[in-house]
Amino acid sequence: MSTPIPARIAALREAMAKHGVAACLVPTADPHLSEYLPAHWQAREWFSGFDGSAGTLLVTAKEAGLWTDSRYFSQAEQQLAGTGVALMKQRVAHAPEHLIWLQQHLHQGDVAAMAGDSVSVATQRNIEQLLGQVGAGLRVDLDLPGIAWTGRPALPAAPIFEHPMAYAGTSRAQKFEKLRGALRKQHVTHHLVSSLDDIAWLTNLRGSDVECNPVFLAHLLVETAGSATLLVDRSKLSDQLVASLTGEGIHIAGYAMLGDVLGDLKDGDSLLFDPGRVVSNVLKAVKDDVKQVEGPNPSTAFKAIKSETELAHIRECMRRDGTALVRAFRRLEERLAAGMTQTELDVDALLRDERSAQPHFIGESFATIAGYMENGALPHYRATPEAHNTLQRHGLLLIDSGGQYLGGTTDITRVLALGPTTPEQRRDATLVMKGMIALSRARFPKGATGPQLDALARAPLWASGMDYGHGTGHGVGYFLNVHEGPHGIRPPVSGATLVALEPGMITSIEPGLYKPARHGIRHENLAVVVEAEQTEFGDFHAFETLTLCPFDRRALEPSLLSPDERAWLDDYHATVRAALSPLLEDADLAWLEKHCAPL
């Protein structure tokens, strides 16, 4: 029988008391500062019971709180009930963020603790600065959750494989030479990379150490002069792959050997690292006479701009993914019409079944979100055998899903009308669609950033006094993480780095609207930034929509769309019909023709 959450918190408090710690921070983080974590580092979930992808647990001798954002308020409220852990809402007026709350609850001489393998260099500095204002301190040499965690899962041990050159398009040697060119410009001798998607992209290797993300646990130390060290569990690599890497100047060292490798750096060496993507305990091994240079990983910007080879594969991948979705949606409609009982779990199974039949499919790019009616109002809802809705012949079903293919990563959301809908549902779905169309049609000057464009998608909702609490768009990897930086489309944030949207960058476009206990709406396509035109005012860019799947027009109120908006939707459906028709036949083709007919 698993240990109840209150007993887990009690064990953590016992460890805190033993070490003289007044507060313990348990973030959602691993030594690579990943968004999604292997089970070995899911301490925040183990101690709180909350399994959303974002949140921070903060425990003192008498209080425990879980901070998360609006995507997870309803989910966290349910999962934290009875645990003794309070839900603390992030980015809500008059509610303190977790570090401010911590500062307010500590006093002169108090000490907070945070595992040094789960806090970035930049975050550690910020916390120390805030706590120093009240005379408190921070220890990062204590992994108190690790001490109190019983039955902690082992590190993952999935094999690593090569991304075939036919899909990668650019060799390891070319990628490393491009990286070293950037390092030479910064006059550094070494560069430490700990972010897993950067490592996978640079090495043209993939793995499955993180659910739905084809990455593997590793660190990478690159020498500007010409060699590199990949720190990884050797048992994950075949002898042939080790020989290939070694022959290209990439030496293999144990995953736990990073401290030893960094300790070998000598006087006169200089180390480039990203303080927001390297954890604090890593740098302890670096000698004082080694110059530390802080800056973003050059590879993050490189991999964000997809090559023509990658884009060609992605476009084909979208055809295959769209084909799978058409077949799954048609089958779902057929089952419901026949009176078969269908649940949100069946939707997940249908999508998996159809995607698995497509060439070069590897797995889902994230856990499918299939939320019927009120569950659609939970942006990151996940149906479980213990808690899910049965579909009815009315109302709205929100389906957010994606696939990992050798030729790309997909992420798409559609809202299906399962039968009669209310005027409110159709109005809401149409207002969100108006925002999606506005952003999809945007023309913007070279150098424009996501925060400058975000309002285009929100304006129709704002005009009706409504909004949504998440960003409008995120970067997407190439057979890599479904969430990828450095760019994004979101409201402006004070102090945040602005990243220009450049041709070749892929972003989601996904405005939404969520009404608790009623319904949720989100329309989502992926799009790539392309060059649009050159005028006397400079170069302008635009979006090319990549995703290929019909929107369910039965969920919309066409009278609310302008002629230009109707034309955009008709043109999009004509593109979808032309792209997918050759891959479909019989009932599936008829379904496509019906749903792509002009308004």
What percent of the chain clears pLDDT 90, i.e. is strictly above it?
93
Question: What is the reported pLDDT for 70?
Answer: 82
Element (H, E) at 219: strand 219-223
Give 587 or 69, the one with higher predicted confidence.
587
Backbone angles phi, psi at 267, to 5 degrees: -55, 130
Q: How far apart are CA 368 and CA 345, in angstroms?
A: 9
Q: For residue 496, what pLDDT is reported?
A: 81
pLDDT above 50: residue 256: yes
Token couple for 147? 């001490």
pLDDT at 204 over 70: yes
Q: What count of other Cβ atoms lies within 10 Å of the Cβ of residue 294? A: 13
Distance CA 516, CA 228 (A): 51
pLDDT average, residue stretch 365-382: 93
Query: How large is the average pLDDT for residues 48-70?
Result: 94
Q: Give 75's pLDDT tier (boundaries 50, 70, 90).
A: confident
The number of residues in the chain equals 599
Domain boundary assignment for the chain:
5-148, 161-303, 308-592
Q: Do domains 5-148 and 161-303 have the same CATH topology?
A: yes
Q: Please state, in angstroms and as integers, the Cα–Cα distance from residue 409 to each residue in 33, 233, 320, 332, 405, following that order.
A: 21, 26, 12, 24, 6
Average pLDDT score over residue span 103-112:
96
Q: What is the 3 state secondary structure string of 429-490? A: HHHHHHHHHHHHCCEEECCCEHHHHHHHHHHHHHCCCCCCCCCCEEECCCCCCCCEEEEEEC
Average pLDDT over residues 135-145: 96
Q: What percentage of the chain exceeds 70 in pLDDT?
A: 100
Exposed/middle/buried for 349, CB within 10 Å: 0-12, 13-18, 19+? middle
pLDDT, mean of residues 23-32:
96
For 280-308, write each residue's pLDDT tens digit.
999 899 999 999 999 999 999 999 999 99
Residue 278 has pLDDT above 50, yes or no: yes
d(CA 106, CA 21): 11
> Cis peptide before 486, with omega less than 30 degrees from 0?
yes
397-445 tens-digit pLDDT:
999 999 999 999 999 999 999 999 999 999 999 999 999 999 999 999 9
Return the pLDDT at 27: 96
Tens digit of each residue's pLDDT (9 = 90 or more) over 308-367: 999 999 999 999 999 999 999 999 999 999 999 999 999 999 999 999 999 999 999 999
- Helix, strand, coil percentages for the chain (3-state, nearest 5): 40, 20, 40
* Nearest by Cα to 113 from 3, 256, 12: 12
> CB of 16 within 8 A of CB of 104?
no
Q: Is the pLDDT of residue 241 over 60?
A: yes
Does residue 211 surpass a pLDDT of 90? Answer: yes
Mean predicted confidence (pLDDT) in 371-380: 92
Topology at the third CATH level for domain 5-148: Creatine Amidinohydrolase; Chain A, domain 1 (3.40.350)
- Is a pLDDT exceeding 90 seen at residue 91? no
Please check whether residue 54 is in contact with residue 72, taking contact to mean a CB–CB distance below 8 angstroms. Answer: yes
| CATH code of the domain made up of 308-592 | 3.90.230.10
- Residue 573 near residue 550 (C-beta atoms within 8 A): yes
Contact between 438 and 472 under an 8 Å Cβ cutoff? The reply is no
Q: Which residue has the tokens 């078969």?
A: 340
Nearest-angstrom CA–CA distance, 356 and 337: 25
What are 440-495's pLDDT values in tens digits?
A: 999 999 999 999 999 999 999 999 999 999 999 999 999 999 999 999 999 998 88
Q: How many CA atoms lie within 13 A of 201 on its CB side?
A: 29
Cα 272 from Cα 317, distance rounded (Å): 36
Report the mean per-residue pLDDT for the chain.
Answer: 96
Q: Looking at residues 164-186, what average pLDDT do you find?
A: 97
| Whole-number Å distance between alpha carbons of 522 and 544 | 19
Largest CA distance in the chain: 75
Tokens 């979208």 — which residue? Answer: 318
Q: Which CATH number is 161-303's, of 3.40.47.10, 3.40.350.10, 1.10.540.10, 3.30.750.24?
A: 3.40.350.10
Residue 225 and residue 248 in contact, taking contact as beta carbons nearer than 8 Å: no
pLDDT for res 1: 43
